[in-house]
Amino acid sequence: MAIDLYTAATPNGWKVTVMVEELREAGVDLPEVKLHTVSLGGDQFTPEFMAICPNQKIPAMVHDGRAIMESCAILQYLGETFPTELFPLGERRWDVIPWLYWQAANIGPIFGNKLSYTRYINDATDEQKAHPLERFGKEAQRLLAVLDNQLAKHDYLCGDTFTVADIATWCWVRSWKWAKIDITGRPRVMEWVRRCRARPGVERGISFGVPKDEIDRFSQARRAQYRQGGAGIASNWALRDDAT
């Protein structure tokens, strides 16, 4: 049966489109993948989307009658359903799963909050933003040190093979300039970012929802679009306290 993927051009959204393309690169004969763009201006709150993802977040996926939410859960599902070295099975999976969860619990929230306070939140003063910017900036550097220590041992996060842990982590770290999280003092991290970016599957995966000439840069128009869209998600005035 076809895979229906509901997503948008964000770091969490790109995780899954990169995974799809990397599976194809690995020679997996995937069923048809239907991409459904979710406008984060309100589509995530529709009854139709919430029937798939009660948490009102992208990405979400439906395959073989099963709906799955949360980007890293989708990566694990695809990895187990279509086995490759991207998600090794057996004991080797325990080299990968902890780092996949590390991204979900650490890199995503910290980089996401740093990005939100840097670019998107528009209902707080600079003085109010100062402490969270410092806090999330320092924690981002601690996490980059953890990543750097791993890369001192091998080319990728979990060994010498590219895995879902790299996909999940890279999709956030690649936006370091936009989030104003400096990685230039960590040559191993910089090289890992370039190494992952050079993969054809990654190239195709991050092309989703992005003009062809802006895969690695933001035009002024796109910056404005992202600021507007980000403010509509990150600012307090946009938050909802209901799930209906």
Place of tokens 């209901």: 242
Q: Which two tokens stand for residue 210?
A: 């992005």
Rounded CA Rg of the chain: 18
Output the pLDDT for position 211.
81
Beta strands 60-63; 3-7: pairing state: antiparallel
Rounded to 5°, angle at Cα 34 from 33 and 35:
115
- Bridge partners of 60, per DSSP, are 6, 69
> What pTM value is reported for the model?
0.92
Residue ranges covered by each domain of the chain: 3-81, 90-205
Give the helix, strand, coil percentages of the chain, each rounded to 5: 60, 10, 35
| Low-confidence stretches of the chain (pLDDT beneath 50) | none
3-81 belongs to which homologous superfamily?
A: Glutaredoxin (3.40.30.10)
Condensed to tens digits (0 to 9), the pLDDT of residues 86-116 reads: 999 999 999 999 999 999 999 999 999 999 9
Top-level class of domain 90-205:
mainly alpha
Enter the tokens of residue 95.
Answer: 């080299």
What's the pLDDT score for residue 227?
Answer: 60
